[in-house]
Structure 1
Amino acid sequence: MFKEIKNDLPASIIVFFVALPLCLGIALASGAPLFAGIISGIVGGIVVGIASGSTLGVSGPAAGLAVIVLTAIGTLGSWEVFLMAVLLSGAIQLLLGFAKAGFIAYFFPSAVIKGMLTGIGLLIILKQIPHALGWDNDAMGDDSFLQVDGQNTLSEIGSALNFITPGAVVIGILSLAILIFWDKVLMKKHKIFQIIQGPIVVVALGILMNYFYQNGILGFSLNEKQLVSLPVPSSVTDFLGQFTFPDFSSITNPQVWSVAIVIAIVGSLETLLCVEATDKLDPDRRITPTNRELKAQGLGNIVSGLIGGIPITQVIVRSSANISFGGKTKMSAILHGLFLLISAITLVKLMNMIPLASLAAILLMVGYKLAKPSLFVDMYKLGQEQFVPFAATVIAILASDLLKGISVGIAFGIFYTLRHSYRNSHHLKDKVTTEDGSEIHHIVLAQEVSFFNKASVIKALDAIPANSKVIIDFSKSKSVAYDVLEIVKDFEIHAKSMNIIVEKIKFIPAA
């Protein structure tokens, strides 16, 4: 596990810097205590990281569950009761893993997964522009078009342009320049620049510049909203007091079970989607065992619920940052969780000096790597069956949220699958021939003919003219749906009134 530590250690530090504000932002958007986000980040890194079979996936609090969590806390009326729902959702995920429900991941079309990655990349860019400009009214983990602060993704950028903070802009521009120069020039010059990654330098520079701002050295300033904001415990007792236990007596409450089921289903779907996407980003194309991943997420949510955290899923932003900056094994995910724990105990004041503009610059680079313009060209060249679901997924994610965007993409994918099935249910053999002055039509059915093919079979049979002969050939078919067999039988009856002779070859009788 430590054989790739020279790559995993710097990658884990970068993922830690990316995860820290996201944990806090998602907790804020969820209406949960801020420290609950840190708890779930720690558990997602250490517990899920150890239990998971994913090499490069990183787990933690998910923005996609923020609205569900916010609503559930209000419905259940108590934070401790909600934690019981989180614990139960983990138990349900464990059962799903043992029931081998992870196969669902294999039904997501490749074009939709690529659209998801690209949409998230563009979303990251759009969401981080305000933070790079010093406008930090919206929580950093908010990824929906309609935001918690009452604005939307585009109007937030407009507000940011009206309230630019020069100090944040200077940090953002310098950070981006360092990241680009590091990536395009320095990393190719010497191995030391591959070990000490650009984002680490960017964060250190941000802390230094913020220190200069606070001491009036550079003439700029940042307010508290423009910095990382970890809760600062005054003592060990104060720190331990931030951990909360669930209300076990609420296990008989039907509403708790209802919330648990929703969290388990939505969280599992988000995880499986991210697993597919992360595997596609993996340079070595390793395959994550999905059933084991469901078990790992279940274990993580049980622990998170037990000690006061919000729900956990595998998260694509952190996973893609891990891959982009050189992570090689699951050790990078585990270490990022350890760093979150250490920072929450000992480095709170230092972490609270990190400008959000520095982190925004890092995420802008992550977003660009996910949504390179060349990908749009490549998908367009593959034809409309690949490009339309891809583009629909991207647009829907930007206009709504992750799960709705994926749903739209899958709907388009299903449409093209049905259309393809409709067109390939049968073929007409050669040209129409004649026998004793009557036309002969030869219809050869496909290997698999499902009820989706009903319309095309009916269309083909309806086109047979009166006073002719039709040969319906089942010789290549292994499976024909009962619906289609019923259509053929009905056509035989109707054909007599039109003086159509029906001949069947290797007809498959209904079971």
Structure 2
Amino acid sequence: MFKYIKNDLPASIVVFFVALPLCLGIALASGAPLFSGLIAGIIGGIVVGALSGSQIGVSGPAAGLAAIVLTAIGTLGGYQNFLVAVVLGGIIQFIFGILRAGIIAYYFPSSVIKGMLTGIGIIIILKQIPHFFGYDSDPEGDWAFYQVDGQNTFSEIINTVNFISPGATLIAIIALAILILWSSVLTKKSKIFELVQGPLVAVVVGIVYYVSTQGHETLGISDEHLVKVPVPDSLESFLGFFSFPNFSAITNMEVWITAFTIALVASLETLLCVEATDKLDPDKRTTPTNRELMAQGVGNTLSGLVGGLPVTQVIVRSSANIQSGGKTKLSAIIHGFFLLISVILIPTLLNKIPLSVLAAILFIVGYKLAKPSLFKTMFQSGWKQFVPFIVTVVGIVFTDLLVGISLGLLVGIFVVLFKSYQNSHFLHIEDKSNGSHKIKMTLAEEVTFFNKGAILKELDSLPENSYLTLDVRKTKYLDNDIVEILEDFSSKAKNRNIDIMLISERGEVENPESYIEFFNLRPKKKSA
């Protein structure tokens, strides 16, 4: 487990700095106590990280559940009632894992998964632009296009022009320059720059800048542009940050509906993230999805019991982990301990980190997910790959994660059906001499009712006085609907003087009397 500690420790530091504002931002966007986001981040790192079979996935509170949480807290009559639904949702997730529901992850097309990663990368960049310039009216966890305050992603960027903070912008530019210099130049010069990560240096420089310019009218950074970790006055006040579920609400049917909703959405987001992180993993390891669902179920149950938000595996943290060189699950676990230790020992120091510096770090994460070269690669792969990819990207940017993925998946299914429609048969005209047509039609290996239209169109377009050779030797599955089409066509063929030669593995039959009996779809009538 400690074999790659030199890789995992620096990566865990980067993930910690990425996760910290996201935990707080998602809690704020969810209408939940800020500390609940940190609890979910800690449990997602330590507990889920230890139980999961994923080596590079990182779990924590998910932005995709923020709207559900916000609505549920109001509907269920308070946060403590909502925590009951989180506990039950975790138990349901664990049952999903036992029932091997994780297999769902393998049915998402590669183009949709790549579109998801790219769309999330673009969203990260767009959502961090206001924070980069010191406009922090919306939390980092507000990832949907349309926001609860009536604004959207682009209107927030436009509004940034009127609220630029010179100090926050300056340190963000310095931090971004440090990150680019670190990854492009310095890491190639010496191993010390691989051990000490650029994001850590950028955060330290940000803290120093804030302290040294504090009180400056132009270059100073006001407190509203800093990380806001709850600071306990004593052990008693620290324990007061925790909330506990009100189990008397367990008889409320709305609680159970919310629990199933959390379990379904959290499981789907986790499985999608697992599929995406496995594709990003340089070592190409495969995560056991059923074990992942059980690990997430345990994590959600514990999180709900101590006042935390629902947990999923999260692509932002996971991709930051991979890009920072994380090799094993130790990086996720250490990042969880960093969150725990920091909120206990150094919350005041954390509250000196400018949000614009963290925005610069997320810029790099977003760019690596949404590189322009990927668009070119997908376009060159053909329209069957590019169309589901681009629909997923646009859907995620202009709606939200699950809607965008659903749109991409629907387009991917349509592409499959369209290609199935096209590839149901191969038609070859062999001879047109003397006004006759010798035509050979070879059916595909599998022909279903999706292919009815294409085959019917070809059969109806055959000219009179034709000789059709119908080859089904390669066909392993022939739907009853297709056989009925052939049965109906046989009577039309006689009227149009079309002869049919049926070739199968059994041999050759000319003008068969019954296709249904030939393919053994019903028993032959017994003779008298």
**Cα distance in 2 for residues equivalent to 1:452 and 1:304:** 46
- State the SS of the aligned residue for 1:485: helix
**Cα distance in 2 for residues equivalent to 1:271 and 1:63:** 12
State the partner residue of 2:89: 89
**Cα distance in 2 for residues equivalent to 1:440 and 1:251:** 73
**Cα distance in 2 for residues equivalent to 1:457 and 1:103:** 34
**Cα distance in 1 for residues equivalent to 2:519 and 2:143:** 53
**Cα distance in 1 for residues equivalent to 2:466 and 2:114:** 50
**Cα distance in 2 for residues equivalent to 1:9 and 1:171:** 26
State the partner residue of 1:442: 440
Which one of the candidate residues 505, 519, 526 is aligned to 1:508? Answer: 519
Residue-by-residue CA offset, 1:40-94 (whole Å, 9 max, x unaligned): 1111001110010111000001101111111111111121111111111111111
Residue-by-residue CA offset, 1:463-507 (whole Å, 9 max, x unaligned): 122333323222111111222222222222333333333333335
State the partner residue of 2:189: 189
Which runs of 4 or more aligned residues in structure 1 lie more than 6 Å from their structure 2 counterparts after TM superposition?
none
**Cα distance in 2 for residues equivalent to 1:241 and 1:494:** 82
- Corresponding position: 1:488 with 2:486: yes
Residue-by-residue CA offset, 1:450-473 (whole Å, 9 max, x unaligned): 222111111121112233332322
Unpaired runs of at least 5, structure 1 = none
Note the 1:388-403 alignment, pairs <5 A. 388-403=387-402
Flag the structure with larger Rg. Answer: 2
- Corresponding position: 1:140 with 2:151: no
The 3 A distance-change label for structure 1 pair 483 and 343 is same
How far is the alpha carbon of 1:363 from its aligned partner? Answer: 0.3
State the partner residue of 1:406: 405
Q: TM (normalized to structure 1)?
A: 0.96
How far is the alpha carbon of 1:326 from its aligned partner? Answer: 1.2
State the partner residue of 1:205: 205
State the partner residue of 2:223: 224
**Cα distance in 2 for residues equivalent to 1:389 and 1:18:** 29
Equivalent AA in structure 2 for residue 510 of structure 1: L
Contact 2:166/2:218, CA 8 A, preserved across alignment:
no
Contact 2:45/2:58, CA 8 A, preserved across alignment:
yes
Equivalent AA in structure 2 for residue 279 of structure 1: D
Equivalent AA in structure 2 for residue 4 of structure 1: Y
Contact 1:105/1:272, CA 8 A, preserved across alignment:
yes
- State the SS of the aligned residue for 1:214: coil
How far is the alpha carbon of 1:149 from its aligned partner? Answer: 3.1
State the partner residue of 1:272: 271
- State the SS of the aligned residue for 2:69: helix
Contact 1:474/1:508, CA 8 A, preserved across alignment:
no
**Cα distance in 2 for residues equivalent to 1:219 and 1:498:** 89
Contact 2:113/2:275, CA 8 A, preserved across alignment:
yes
State the partner residue of 1:299: 298
**Cα distance in 1 for residues equivalent to 2:281 and 2:292:** 16
- State the SS of the aligned residue for 2:213: helix
State the partner residue of 2:340: 341
**Cα distance in 2 for residues equivalent to 1:338 and 1:489:** 70
**Cα distance in 2 for residues equivalent to 1:338 and 1:252:** 36
State the partner residue of 1:288: 287
State the partner residue of 1:108: 108
State the partner residue of 1:465: 463
State the partner residue of 1:352: 351
- State the SS of the aligned residue for 2:468: strand
**Cα distance in 1 for residues equivalent to 2:493 and 2:265:** 51
Contact 1:397/1:406, CA 8 A, preserved across alignment:
yes
Q: How many residues align?
A: 509
Contact 2:441/2:469, CA 8 A, preserved across alignment:
yes
Contact 2:56/2:327, CA 8 A, preserved across alignment:
yes
**Cα distance in 2 for residues equivalent to 1:427 and 1:463:** 14
Q: TM (normalized to structure 2)?
A: 0.93
How far is the alpha carbon of 1:180 from its aligned partner? Answer: 0.6
State the partner residue of 1:178: 178
Unpaired runs of at least 5, structure 2 = 505-517, 523-528
- State the SS of the aligned residue for 1:431: strand
**Cα distance in 2 for residues equivalent to 1:246 and 1:502:** 73
- State the SS of the aligned residue for 2:185: helix
**Cα distance in 1 for residues equivalent to 2:242 and 2:121:** 34
State the partner residue of 2:35: 35
**Cα distance in 2 for residues equivalent to 1:162 and 1:508:** 74
State the partner residue of 2:314: 315
How far is the alpha carbon of 1:391 from its aligned partner? Answer: 1.3
Aligned residues: CA RMSD: 1.6
State the partner residue of 2:476: 478
**Cα distance in 1 for residues equivalent to 2:182 and 2:521:** 67
**Cα distance in 2 for residues equivalent to 1:157 and 1:133:** 10
**Cα distance in 1 for residues equivalent to 2:193 and 2:154:** 36
State the partner residue of 1:58: 58
**Cα distance in 1 for residues equivalent to 2:261 and 2:468:** 53
Contact 2:429/2:437, CA 8 A, preserved across alignment:
no
Contact 1:485/1:509, CA 8 A, preserved across alignment:
no
**Cα distance in 2 for residues equivalent to 1:230 and 1:258:** 32
Contact 2:27/2:34, CA 8 A, preserved across alignment:
yes
Equivalent AA in structure 2 for residue 71 of structure 1: T
State the partner residue of 1:241: 240
**Cα distance in 1 for residues equivalent to 2:265 and 2:414:** 23
Residue-by-residue CA offset, 1:185-206 (whole Å, 9 max, x unaligned): 1100111100100000011111
State the partner residue of 1:426: 425
Residue-by-residue CA offset, 1:172-220 (whole Å, 9 max, x unaligned): 010001001101111001111001000000111111111112254x952
**Cα distance in 2 for residues equivalent to 1:347 and 1:392:** 44
Contact 1:25/1:142, CA 8 A, preserved across alignment:
yes
Contact 1:320/1:366, CA 8 A, preserved across alignment:
yes
- Corresponding position: 1:453 with 2:451: yes
**Cα distance in 1 for residues equivalent to 2:252 and 2:490:** 59
State the partner residue of 1:16: 16
**Cα distance in 2 for residues equivalent to 1:432 and 1:87:** 72
Residue-by-residue CA offset, 1:321-354 (whole Å, 9 max, x unaligned): 1111111110000111111111121111111111
State the partner residue of 1:251: 250
Residue-by-residue CA offset, 1:206-241 (whole Å, 9 max, x unaligned): 11111112254x952222221101111111111112
How far is the alpha carbon of 1:370 from its aligned partner? Answer: 1.0
Equivalent AA in structure 2 for residue 509 of structure 1: N
